[in-house]
Amino acid sequence: MSGTHTSGGVVWLGSPAFPEAARSAVADTRLRTNLRKATGTIRDKRVAAAAELDDWEELRTAAAAIKRATLRHLDHHLLRLEESVTAVGGTVHWAADAAEANRIVTRLVRATGETEVVKVKSMATQEIGLNEALAAAGITAYETDLAELIVQLDDDRPSHILVPAIHRGRAEIREIFRERMGEWGKPAPEGLTDDPRQLAEAARSHLREKFLNTKVAVSGANFAAADTGTVAVVESEGNGRMCLTLPETLITVMGIEKVLPSFADLEVFLQLLPRSSTGERMNPYTSMWTGTVPGDGPRAFHLVLLDNGRTATLRDTVGRQTLGCIRCSACLNVCPVYERTGGHAYGSPYPGPIGAVLTPQLAGVERAASLPFASTLCGACYDACPVKIDIPEVLVHLRARAVDAARGGSLPTPESLAMKAAALTLATPRRLSFAQRAGALGSRLLARRGVLRRLPGPLHRWSDTRDTPAPPRETFRAWWRRTRPENQ
């Protein structure tokens, strides 16, 4: 058995700040090629799928309204969900943080006497580092989503919410299967090529053994309806359906923000989610279960409701909209930054624009201070978001929180000094004019034929790849004063 990462969690320990991590990602030719291909394809599919619905904008508005209204009375809906799930034979557990959730799941698995679990792809269990916690307790978790399997076999980390192995091409996947599958179970067949069909067949055959022999499954949840106690998982491969129906015990870990007031609300979200995430009209498998049914499916169902920073996020009136996220990953696919760095640079299972706003809120801004700045604020994410999360608004809000948190420090940063100096300069037209004259004079001394090739100090980060025009001798303001003395 290969080792697993010991650094699960909202923030991966030891991850460098975003700009540093991005530097090596941007220089990785293979990664850039894989990302460009994958995000480009999925981007076009999403636009086409959304354009098919006349009421797409109304659906987005409805989804945003449902999510915001639900979050306002989250306590009420959660208690109702507990009541409904309990009434249909399930057991509800409450976890304040990752450690508590991991303890609950470990205890539930141990109580079955089993030492292996199959897993449906789940962001919540990535967030709490469940696989690592189970491994520490002597329990092996098998990922059954194809891309999660690739990541697990390679002892790697996910780099996309929907397509965790988006950073891998098929030739790399073939190598991973050939080298690692045997350590986890049925090895890859002899003569495996990088033909996608062969790769899928190898995974299917490897996983079938797990599905048929494992008595406990762990899943996440896309939605849970408070009125009926129904839990829903949306997926493409059928591995989820296997895990949700074959084992004797099912343990679902769900973020508390996933609750919907009513089963009828699914009408909106099941239209938005597949079109936004894979660009499909409908995903191949939508599994819904309502407690337990004798003789059909798992005999025991446990629902673990996970807080892990969500209540704190809810307190922030601007930031709380982030909790409306349905994990479709449309924002990742349209993000020009994500397209060039991939997910690992974000240092969290939640990458891309949504990760840049979610991770700092779940883990604390001070533990992910570079993430709110990992965006040009171009706004493509907001346009793509099916629940209309104003990600740029939350980004600048979190930037202000990061800056304000640093204001208390003993030494001002060079950036904060520069910002203060700029504010003083811009405070009056007279100071601005003075600074403009001084700046223009200095720049012209450095310029050759009106162009600055190298800028001093930290500005080299700009001038390393860009020329800069020297400011002209006369500002607009001075020109106006000189030419229009009558109109002052």
Partner 1 sequence: MRIALFITCFNDTMYPNTGKAVTTLLERLGHTVHFPQAQTCCGQMHFNTGYRREALPLVRRFAEAFAAYDAVVTPSGSCAGMVREHHGTLARQSGDADLMAAIGNLAPKVYELSELLVDVLGVTDVGAYFPHRVTYHPTCHSLRMLRVGDRPLQLLRAVKGIDLVELPEADSCCGFGGTFALKNPDVSSAMLADKVANVTQTRAEVLCAGDNSCLMHIGGGLGRLRTGVGTLHLAEILAGTEGDPR
Binding site for partner 1 (CB under 8 A): 18-19, 22-23, 26-27, 32, 336-337, 340-341, 370, 372-380, 382-383, 396, 399-404, 415-416, 419-420, 422-423, 426-429, 432, 436, 439-440, 451, 458-459, 461-462, 464-469, 471-472, 474-477, 479-480, 484, 487-488
- Rounded CA-CA distance 190/186 in Å is 12
- Rounded CA-CA distance 144/140 in Å is 13
Q: How far is the CB of 460 from partner 1 (least distance, A)?
A: 9
- Determine the 3-state secondary structure of 232 from DSSP: strand
Residue closer to partner 1, measured from CB, 22 or 124: 22
Q: How far is the CB of 44 from partner 1 (least distance, A)?
A: 12
Q: How far is the CB of 172 from partner 1 (least distance, A)?
A: 22
- Determine the 3-state secondary structure of 214 from DSSP: coil
Residue closer to partner 1, measured from CB, 153 or 470: 470
Terminal C-alpha separation, the chain: 79
Residue closer to partner 1, measured from CB, 224 or 365: 365
Residue type, position 23, single letter: R
- Rounded CA-CA distance 371/356 in Å is 5
Q: How far is the CB of 16 from partner 1 (least distance, A)?
A: 13
Sign, CA dihedral 224-230-234-235, equals positive
Residue closer to partner 1, measured from CB, 200 or 451: 451
Q: Report the Cα 170 to chain-centroid distance in Å.
A: 23
Are 359 and 350 in contact by the 8 Å Cβ rule? The answer is yes
- Rounded CA-CA distance 260/266 in Å is 8
Kindly list the distances between the CA atom of residue 248 and the CA atoms of 106, 211, 432, in Å, as whole numbers in the listed order. 16, 11, 73
Q: How far is the CB of 280 from partner 1 (least distance, A)?
A: 24
Q: How far is the CB of 256 from partner 1 (least distance, A)?
A: 28
- Rounded CA-CA distance 209/185 in Å is 8
Q: How far is the CB of 380 from partner 1 (least distance, A)?
A: 7
Cβ neighbours, 10 Å, residue 138: 10
- Rounded CA-CA distance 108/302 in Å is 8
Residue closer to partner 1, measured from CB, 260 or 357: 357
Are 386 and 326 in contact by the 8 Å Cβ rule? The answer is yes
Q: How far is the CB of 472 from partner 1 (least distance, A)?
A: 6
Residue closer to partner 1, measured from CB, 99 or 378: 378
Residue closer to partner 1, measured from CB, 88 or 378: 378
Residue closer to partner 1, measured from CB, 2 or 24: 24
- Rounded CA-CA distance 71/314 in Å is 8
Q: Report the Cα 34 to chain-centroid distance in Å.
A: 18
